[in-house]
Structure 1
Amino acid sequence: MTYTVAIFDLDGTLVDTLQDLADTANQMLIEYGYPQHPTDKYRYFVGDGLSTLIERILPKGATSSTIVRCSERFLEIYGNCWRRKSCPYPGINAMLARLKNAGLRLAVLSNKPHRFTLEHTAHFFPPDTFDLVLGQRPEVEKKPNPQGLIEILSALDTPASTCIYIGDTAVDMQTGRAAGVFTIGVLWGFRDHQELAEHHADLIVKHPMEIVHHAVASA
């Protein structure tokens, strides 16, 4: 199989954002008088979009208006602190460079709000690394709905059979499978081998360069 496009999740796949996400959420919780959560718990709170994150960290029974208010405050805080501790995982930049040198086009699809997805990729990676970057937008269903992934395939004029989708959660594996692309689960992110295997990752890797070996060796 010849792969022409590699699409990546962002948080937990390209960039380790866990501490900044946890710090932001806990600051918001403190401000509104709610209990905080240990950082490690956020590995399972994040990944399904902002409103779901807020719903998970608030006490049970939170009203929709409370979720909206807390989501808005989260965004305000996060806008000032997302650069503090976040950084690309070791080996990510080298892996991306190798894929581009091999002729693959690269893209990002994230459930992070679109504004922050654009800001993260612009801040942490060289210009022109990605052909297309899409975060969560109100008019598009979030992952695991494959709408965003299909949009990228269409924009890059590539069939699903020549694309790989790389992520660190069950949601990512479900998204890729729903779009008919080859899925790669990564073990340096927020979730574990069991979750990726149970959701039928086509390949599970421990190091970024394994992605290159698969994508390029398959050409």
Structure 2
Amino acid sequence: MNKTLDPETRDWLIETGFTVRDNAMWLAALTHGSMDEIRNYQRLEFLGDRVLGLSIADWLFSQGDAPEGKLAQRLNAIVSRGTCADVARSIGLAEHIRISKQARADGGRDSDNILGDVVESLLGAEFLDNGFDAARAMVHRLFRPVLESGAGHAKHPKSALQEWAAGNRRKPPEYEIIDRSGPDHATTFTVRVKVYKVGEAEGTASSKSEAEKAAAKAFMERYG
């Protein structure tokens, strides 16, 4: 039986600012792999990730003459999985994700990974349905609070720790995953970071990179 886009979800997409033409594609953009359907959001997320990156890079480039390093620093902060998940929560995305009962019971609708991926899949659908200009406009609309907040101006915790270690003539920090728990769609990682003859700290998050970031931040707060 052919699935159709729920009218309430279609209305929500339009109210959020998306332009919905190909209903089947937008249905796929909101469908998690746990539904075991032929089309889900994975391919659209791959495309939307690139749309997001280019749109943010273009916006940052147009704002002044910051050097490449500063542009990259801000870009990485703004397109991070955690930021995308925050955007998803701000627009009430979770209730519109099509996800299995088991995955939902496991906390899938509040997973940073899933929320972030679906935001990107929606941007991929907007690009395919309406072109890059429309998709870029949606990125600006959804991410404007983040863009205007100055996110990414502060140095990334891992970079700060790396520079601190070098400046104090210490060996580079070493990161290790010490725990991984939960189902694949809602995995939690705990990472330990060590600096030889200084100490260690831990961080926990829904992705390896965010857990490393949390561990580096905790280390700098303790020893930096």
Smaller-chain TM-score range?
A: under 0.3
**TM-score, length-normalised on structure 2?**
0.27
* Structure holding more helix per residue: 2
* Structure holding more strand per residue: 1
Q: Which has the higher contact order (CA 8 A, sep 6+)?
A: 1
Structure having the higher Rg: 2
**TM-score, length-normalised on structure 1?**
0.27
